[in-house]
């Protein structure tokens, strides 16, 4: 089998789609405070610019700009995913997921910035998602003590010019509308859209648009 080699371009702007192993789960929004903490912690040691980021219940999209001398986005995603998996394991019990710690054990910070759940979203509990993860891990994941929270691969697309950059920003902003969670981008709390609308970069009444191209997720 051929091995996929991801592009490595220092200073690039890159669009990502990152998914949970359980499509239809809600762990990302159930643990939004934890996810935010993990991203902040990784950014302290591996900086990057967040041009856009939207978190849905079972997947997320982001556009990052990497430092001029750095092309390594894979390690950044690996660190975010590993830290999130570790803290889910710590929060819900050592055997809740069964993952192997990949980072030093730390004291969890208080979850102070979790947003309320939105009308129209019917989340399961984190415990239900974790129980599903335990029951569906593959033999290889069991052998490696892998938490199985994330899909192993993620989608990346290197941005090619201003129009491509703006199209991927709008895709991030409109994704909650596309999936039927809200009617306007402004109604979804887990999105950089709010920052961009506040700074005058996005129309506060934006309701999404028909996407053209590939964005790494099932329609």
Better pLDDT: 119 or 15: 15
Q: Residue ranges of the alpha helices (H) in 57-208?
A: 73-92, 94-97, 126-136, 139-143, 162-178, 193-198
pTM of the model: 0.76
pLDDT of residue 111: 29
What average pLDDT does this structure show over 3-9? 68
Lowest average pLDDT, out of 71-85, 106-120, 134-148, 172-186, goes to 106-120
Token code pair at residue 167: 């199209």
Burial of 200 (0-12, 13-18, 19+ CB in 10 A): exposed
Strand order in the sheet with 155-158: 49-55, 59-65, 13-19, 155-158
pLDDT digits (tens, 9 = 90+) for 198-208: 999 999 999 99
pLDDT of 52-78, one tens digit each? 999 999 999 999 999 999 999 999 999
Indicate if the pLDDT at residue 168 is higher than 90.
Answer: yes
We find that the CATH architecture of domain 13-104+116-198 is 2-Layer Sandwich (3.30)
- pLDDT higher than threshold 80 for residue 142: no
Q: What is the CA radius of gyration of the chain?
A: 17
Residue 7, pLDDT score: 74
pLDDT digits (tens, 9 = 90+) for 123-141: 444 555 555 555 554 544 4
pLDDT at 154 over 60: yes
């Amino acid at each position: 089998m051929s091995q996929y080699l991801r592009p490595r371009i220092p200073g690039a702007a890159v669009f990502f789609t990152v998914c949970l192993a359980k499509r239809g789960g809600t762990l990302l929004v159930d643990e939004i405070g934890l996810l935010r903490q993990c991203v902040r912690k990784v950014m302290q040691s591996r900086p990057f610019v967040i041009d856009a980021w939207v978190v849905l219940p079972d997947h997320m999209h982001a556009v990052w700009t990497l430092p001029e001398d750095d092309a390594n986005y894979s390690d950044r995603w690996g660190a975010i995913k590993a830290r999130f998996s570790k803290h889910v394991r710590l929060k819900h019990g050592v055997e809740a997921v069964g993952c192997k710690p990949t980072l030093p054990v730390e004291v969890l910070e208080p979850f102070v910035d979790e947003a309320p759940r939105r009308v129209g979203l019917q989340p399961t509990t984190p415990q239900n998602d974790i129980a599903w993860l335990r029951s569906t891990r593959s033999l290889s994941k069991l052998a490696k003590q892998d938490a199985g929270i994330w899909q192993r691969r993620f989608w990346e697309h290197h941005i090619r010019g201003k129009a491509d950059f703006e199209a991927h920003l709008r895709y991030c902003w409109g994704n909650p509308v596309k999936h039927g969670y809200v009617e306007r981008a402004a109604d979804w709390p887990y999105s950089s859209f709010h920052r961009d609308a506040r700074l005058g970069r996005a129309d506060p009444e934006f309701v999404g648009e028909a996407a053209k191209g590939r964005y790494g997720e099932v329609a």
